[in-house]
Amino acid sequence: MRITGGQARGIPLVAPKGNAVRPATDGMRQAVFSSIGHRVPDAWFLDLFAGSGAYGLEALSRGAAGGVWVEKHRQAADCIRRNLAGVAKSLGRDERDTKIISADATTVPWPLVGHVPSIVFIDPPYEVIEDVAATLFAKLTLLLAPQPDPLLVFEMPGEIELKPPGWTCAKRLGKGAHQPSVGLFLREAT
């Protein structure tokens, strides 16, 4: 697993051993950033259920101003720290505009995370998506209210269809019903 684009392209990423984390594949991240690339420079991000931190790290490599990773598993959070150090060194920048929060993504007091993000990456364990999706979208609706055009990048199995109130899936990336896919959600116009 590596950073697939931007200034830190090629930097290897580590992920914790075992089944606690399912890292986003290089191919899926490439597809996502090909679709959202114009939104990334100078953006602030929130990476929920961050795992190895790959989505947020990819955003930093491609010019994001900074962001926050939220991951409850200690080993995964340690991997994010290691990965962030490698990416920051490659970019020649410090980690001042980043933060790693070791907590459950559904319980974080999100207004306290700093800048209001314009991009949110959400990559929960597939088996909990239907249990947590409504809560996540409701919290994000409140958190992102000050943003004029926020984007939610939600990784899920292809067979899951999410239709959260106030949001529309503008684009779906992925290859099939039982394969990983990503929904790109935009806030509905009021």
How far is 117 from 139, CA to CA, in rounded Å? 13
Q: What is the mean pLDDT of residues 19-28?
A: 72
Asked whether the predicted pLDDT for residue 110 surpasses 90, the reply is no
How far is 161 from 164, CA to CA, in rounded Å? 10
For a pLDDT cut of 90, what percent of the chain falls above it? Answer: 77
- The bridge status of strand 180-187 relative to strand 151-157 is antiparallel
Q: What is the mean pLDDT of residues 5-16?
A: 91
SS3 content of the chain, % helix, strand, coil (to 5): 30, 25, 45
How far is 42 from 63, CA to CA, in rounded Å? 6
Note the pTM of the prediction, 2 decimals.
0.93
pLDDT of residue 45: 95
Contact 97, 48 (CB under 8 A): no
Q: What is the mean pLDDT of residues 48-61?
A: 95
Is domain 26-187 classified as CATH 3.10.20.90? no
Where are the chain's structural domains? 26-187
Give the model's confidence band at 68: pLDDT under 50 very low, under 70 low, under 90 confident, else very high. very high
Which amino acid, 47? D
DSSP summary character for residue 164: -
How far is 182 from 28, CA to CA, in rounded Å? 8
Q: What is the mean pLDDT of residues 85-104?
A: 92
Tokens of 69: 């990773």
Q: What is the mean pLDDT of residues 108-123?
A: 81
Give the model's confidence band at 58: pLDDT under 50 very low, under 70 low, under 90 confident, else very high. very high
